[in-house]
Amino acid sequence: MATRLKSALVLFLFLLAIAHAHADVTLLLEEPYSYDGAFAGTGHAAVYLSRVCAETPLLLRRCAPGEFGAVISRYDGIAGHDWIAIPLIPYLYAVDNPENVPLSADAKLVDFLRNRYRVAHLESVAPDGPGGEPPTGRWVELVGASYIRAIYGFHIDTTEEQDDGLISKYNSEPNQMQFNLITHNCADFARNLVNFYYPKMLHRSVIGDLGVTTPKHDAQLLVHFGERHPELHLTTYVIPQVPGNIRRSGPVRGVVESVVRAKKYMLPLLVFHPVITGALVVAAADGARFNPARNVMVFDPSGELDPPLAAEQRRLYQNRLDSLKRPLAEGNPWYGTKWQELQADSVPQVDNSGDPLLEVKLGDETVDQGLSRNNILSTSAPPELAEWILVQRLREELKKGGSPKVSEQNAENDWALLQQTMQIQHKNREPIDTRLTAMRSARP
């Protein structure tokens, strides 16, 4: 029996090694935010290669064991280069390791983490300003993408030989800025890179996008191709936007779809050009039918893909959270506080392990509040503050609408962490009563 178990374990590890040895290309469809979300809504496109890594932001190489690969995309006006490659975890979260990802974030923390990563790794493409200050410009798009938007991934298999050919091609060709919003945008770059692996798979939509390459149309074509070729193991997933007080990103659309959905464009067209309006509605219909959130798994910073939280489970956790509303309000002086209020006078930092934290003022005292799973319960802040942060995170994750915001596993992990925090709070209730008084008087 022991021999069989040992053989089964060896076989399992062998199959696991094969699975992790697979090369693949993943198109990243990124939801719009800020002005793009308000006016165009087409979002951003990038390409993630799991077995191609960034020796520098401008030089590609094969990944070593344990590395996560790199995200490559076209940018406008960053050191005069056409494309830049960033390791996956920094690209998504502006930290070096999955365990350093914060549980919640605001703009101040994001700016801090981005600049910290820039100083350590990106001086060649985003050097300090004249006075040593962080530079202005669009370099911030290189890191921390998951703080500002949800991202969809569409993966198909490739071969290691194809990866080697792509590395050789991109390292040998000039890397000079070619960005043009109409003819050489980020989706054009993604289209050309994916077509290197599978020629002519992606192309412009003359009708639906008026001849402009868009991220959503690229994704739609890749999904159709993957469905016709099951041997390529099409996988779709979502990388949720990190919870916090940063404005949530919006749905991604094509060019004509954006026009049709915008009343400020459609009402004048309907009045003066009803025939053109009808044609636009028909042209937008195909893109509107493609839902990037359909049947997606949920990405975890560790690299795992887990099922999204089902509606029934969401209601269960919501009911549990609602049942805690009164005891949380009675026992926590931070209940009802907003992120802006908490972080108005706080200072973001990282500990010796690279985990983010906040230096928070409590009366005359300054305490450290950990923000990652590693340090949220191990810093000097009272457990009431950690409890409040976890409640805010769960509330964001349990909201309806849009793409899935949390996986079954992460919801379970977050709930367990909240329970652990409440147990610590209950255990320490009497010794911290005097601190609670100071916290109430210091609350913004």
* Confidence band for 415, pLDDT divided at 50, 70 and 90: very high
* Confidence band for 433, pLDDT divided at 50, 70 and 90: very low
* Confidence band for 394, pLDDT divided at 50, 70 and 90: very high
pLDDT at 442: 46
Q: What is the pLDDT of residues 144-198, one digit of tens each?
A: 999 999 999 999 999 999 999 999 999 999 999 999 888 899 999 999 999 999 9
pLDDT at 286: 55
Q: What is the pLDDT of residues 275-313, one digit of tens each?
A: 444 444 444 445 557 899 999 999 999 889 999 999 999
pLDDT at 365: 85
Q: What is the 3-state secondary structure (H, E, C) of the chain?
A: CHHHHHHHHHHHHHHHHHHHHCEEEEEEEECCCHHHHHHHCCCEEEEEECCEEEEECCEEEECCCCCCCEEEEECCCCCCCCEEEEEHHHHHHCCCCHHHCCCCECHHHHHHHHHHHHHHHCCCCCCCCCCCCCCCCHHHHHCCHHHHCCEEEEEEEECHHHHHHHHHHHHHCCCCCCCECCCECHHHHHHHHHHHHCCCCCCCCCCCCCCCCCHHHHHHHHHHHHHHCHHHCCEEEEECCCCECCCCCCCCCCHHHHHHHCHHHHHHHHHHCHHHHHHHHHHHHHHHHCCCCCCCEEECCCCCEECECCHHHHHHHHHHHHHCHHHHHHHCCCCCCCHHHHHCCCEEEECCCCCEEEEEEECCEEEEEECCCCCCCCCCCCHHHHHHHHHHHHHHHCCCCCCCCCEHHHHHHHHHHHHHHHHHHHHCCHHHHHHHHHHHHHCC
* Arithmetic mean of pLDDT, 243-267: 70
All structural domains of the chain with their residue ranges: 21-246+295-299, 307-442
pLDDT at 422: 86
Q: What is the pLDDT of residues 264-273, one digit of tens each?
A: 444 443 334 3
Tell me the average pLDDT of the chain.
84
**Smallest Cα–Cα separation from 206: which of 267, 279, 260?**
279
* Confidence band for 258, pLDDT divided at 50, 70 and 90: low
* Arithmetic mean of pLDDT, 78-100: 96
> CA-based angle 71:119:57, to the nearest 5?
30
Cβ neighbors of 437 (< 8 A, separation 6 or more) are: none
pTM equals 0.86
pLDDT at 426: 67
Q: What is the pLDDT of residues 188-232, one digit of tens each?
A: 999 999 999 999 999 998 776 778 899 999 999 999 999 999 999
